[in-house]
Amino acid sequence: MPLKYVDEIISKMTLEEKAKIVVGVGLPGLFGNPPSRVPGAAGETHPIERLKIPSAVFADGPAGLRISPRREGDELTYHATAFPVETMLASTWNRNVLEEVGKAVGEEVREYGVDILLAPAINIHRNPLCGRNFEYYSEDPFLTGEMAAAFVRGVQSQGVGACLKHFAANEQETNRMFIDTLISERALREIYLKGFEIAIKKSKPWAVMSAYNKLNGEYCSQNKWLLTKVLREEWGFEGFVMTDWFAGDDPVKQMEAGNDMIMPGKAYQINPKRRDEVEEILSAVKEGRLSEDVLNRNVRNILKVLVNSPSFKGYKYSNRPDLDAHARVAYEAGAEGVILLKNNGALPIGVDKRIALFGTGQIETIKGGTGSGDTHPRYVISILDGVRERGLKIDENLAGIYAKYVGDMRGIEEYRVRRGVFGMPIMPKIPEDFLSEEDIEGFAENNDVAFIVISRISGEGYDRRPEKGDFYLSDDERNLVEKVSKIFHRHGRKVVAVLNIGSPIEVASWRELVDAILLIWQAGQETGRIFADVITGRINPSGKLPTTFPRDYWDVPSWSFPGEPKDNPQMVSYDEGIYVGYRYYDTFGVESAYEFGFGLSYTTFRYGNLKVEVSDNIIKISFEITNTGNYPGKEVAQVYIRAPKGVIDKPFQELKGFHKTRLLNPGETERVEIEVDVDSLAVYNGEKWIIERGRYEVRVGSSSRDIRLTGSFII
Ligand code: BGC
């Protein structure tokens, strides 16, 4: 819609109407507010009927559209697809997969009458304990930005909007609504803002959500430097900015900083110290504390986007997205995101092998995390359902024991699934070590291979803990792993650990006990099918870690997490600077359990024939990958660049390019071409971006520590 039209609307608006456009209607369906016209949506804008401006609907989230699956007095259901969590999507390293998932989610957004999807979330995996890491892609900003851009392109190809969140530096949940995050400008720009910058420039998202936290003393939603100077003036962002839900404490400052919209509105409903934001803005303009020009600017930023929304266009949505097609997209995405961490010949197994499944997670399989990143799909295929559906020979006796055990335990008060804040489920962990050695002995006699499922769930509002049962195995989990391994090995049987988790756990102290480790993450509604197909080799794992698995929590560089003072953190200082994830482990020679970019396959790949050319500010890197093993497979090739020693300290190496091959048959070769922009080599010296001169090393690898080819170029 032409901009002239937007200006025309604004010229007709009263002050009160303008104030309403920049504030949401209040959290729909709660605190006595009417439900959204799409029940379960997180927010809605004010309609202005006089000017034919309809309300727009915003809904989460990163693993699929989050709306209520049922509506009062309505027979129909409104399920949405549960895709793999973002960390798993990033493990695919496949831009096409992200775009396909984006398209599928976008179609559900449109067909359920929503205008803007509150995703992707693209904060950085600074610390493995952040409760929402599963909702974020990676510890690396380049991978993050590329994944986000592809996802946003997919979503927005459906005529609806995407919203990058949480801008910026929202890397923990502890006291997230007021924690002050202290970061050097260099780390901010090179690590924490970079993914946003890439995604904004490459995919033009309709919206950005500012983060809850303070950034160097100022709430992100009230931070003019962040929202106006960096986001708009430097990067040329053309969409609008909304707050995170109930963020900040000063609507006038939010308006001035360039935070165009305040969501969800009516903050006084949760905090008696706050005033109605519409009234606050109105009185500020009337009293000369807020210029009407600022308000006009924000209204314009919002309307410019919303005039292109389905609601504005009067789109007649069907409430019938193609859930069957999207289930296939979810399956394919998960299939590419599974990571094989260890394999001493245990996998794949023949379809005729007898399988003993251990771990309560085979029944209570975790599809994704809790909070706004949750989803309500038609079904979730548990690991047990998945192997049954594929007709694999599982030990039904053992499966029956587990089903009964889980059922009985959940009936006990201590282990009952409860509802926490905003109805989030709280699932106390059930002890895993309930089978006697004698029982296990019997299962080892009757089966060929054991799988032990280890699961974790986390979510919005709290961080994980560096303790047993969370980052570390609990004693009962470790006992189970020890007993099953000992007894099955005595019978000459293999043992495979299956990690159904959303963020790293400790593996180094127990991995020698098992023959293989399969990281299936939280793969959404298709988890069980994906699992069954990976273990039988129908899917050859091709995922790579988007985040380091540290040997021990105390090796993680962000030791100040989640801030000071320890009992109730008010501020968190990112003292490790740019040395986040592999940038730290590689530069300071710290061993990890599994490094960034790592992942095995059922086949092997050879790299060869590297060529590096620089022309017109582009570094052209090409090489060949050949499948040298016996299974068809895909490989993720990664290009790291090592900068020359210059005036500024730099990480040992940094990811600057990657490519996932097509499915290569044994013996088949693909020529890979990757272009790296010379500008992307720039480092921030505290004041500006500079490119150091000298010889740069090109390191092409199968992981960050498995470099297969090296070359160089001179700047
Ligand atoms: C979360 C956002 C989410 C919003 C709306 C907030 O608590 O931080 O990610 O989009 O709620 O549900």
Tell me: the pLDDT tens digits for 46-88? 999 999 999 999 999 999 999 999 999 999 999 999 999 999 9
Residue 423 has pLDDT above 80, yes or no: no
The answer to whether the CB of 46 falls within 8 A of the CB of 55 is: yes
List the one residue out of 65, 159, 154 whose CA is nearest residue 112: 65
The single residue listed with the structure tokens 């050859």 is 540
Predicted pLDDT of residue 3: 78
CB atoms within 10 A of CB 628: 13
Atom of ligand 1 nearest to the CA of 119: 10
Facing residues of 383 across strands? none
Taking the CA of residue 587 as centre, how many other CA atoms within 13 Å lie in the half-sphere pointing to its CB? 19
For the stretch 188-201, pLDDT in tens is: 999 999 999 999 99
- Residue 343: phi and psi, rounded to 5, are -160, 100
The answer to whether the CB of 301 falls within 8 A of the CB of 239 is: yes
Taking the CA of residue 345 as centre, how many other CA atoms within 13 Å lie in the half-sphere pointing to its CB? 3
Q: Give distance in angstroms: CA of 245 to centre of ligand 1.
A: 6
DSSP string for 356-409:
EEESGGGTS---S-BSTT----S----HHHHHHHTT-EE-HHHHHHHHHHHHHH
Pairing relationship of beta strands 116-117 and 57-59 according to DSSP bridges? parallel
Q: Give distance in angstroms: CA of 193 to centre of ligand 1.
A: 19
Q: How far apart are CA 169 and CA 602, in angstroms?
A: 38
The answer to whether the CB of 149 falls within 8 A of the CB of 202 is: yes
Element (H, E) at 711: strand 707-714
For the stretch 121-149, pLDDT in tens is: 999 999 999 999 999 999 999 999 999 99
Q: Is 244 a catalytic residue?
A: yes
Given the residues 244, 374, 463, 515, select the one marked as catalytic: 244
Contacts of 380 (CB under 8 A, 6+ apart): 82, 365, 367, 524, 525, 527, 528
- Residue 293: phi and psi, rounded to 5, are -60, -40
For the stretch 656-687, pLDDT in tens is: 999 999 999 999 999 999 999 999 999 999 99
List the one residue out of 532, 541, 500, 533 whose CA is nearest residue 385: 532
Predicted pLDDT of residue 425: 78
Predicted pLDDT of residue 4: 87
Question: 427 pLDDT band (50/70/90 cuts)?
Answer: confident
List the one residue out of 710, 675, 679 whose CA is nearest residue 696: 710
Closest Cα to atom 6 of ligand 1? 245
Q: How far apart are CA 241 and CA 568, in angstroms?
A: 30
End-to-end CA distance of the chain: 45
pTM: 0.98
Facing residues of 592 across strands? 550
Atom of ligand 1 nearest to the CA of 461: 7
Cβ(58) – ligand 1 distance below 6 Å: no
Q: How far apart are CA 95 and CA 203, in angstroms?
A: 13
Predicted pLDDT of residue 642: 98
For the stretch 255-285, pLDDT in tens is: 999 999 999 999 999 999 999 999 999 999 9
Cβ(245) – ligand 1 distance below 6 Å: yes
Residue 397 token pair: 């006796």
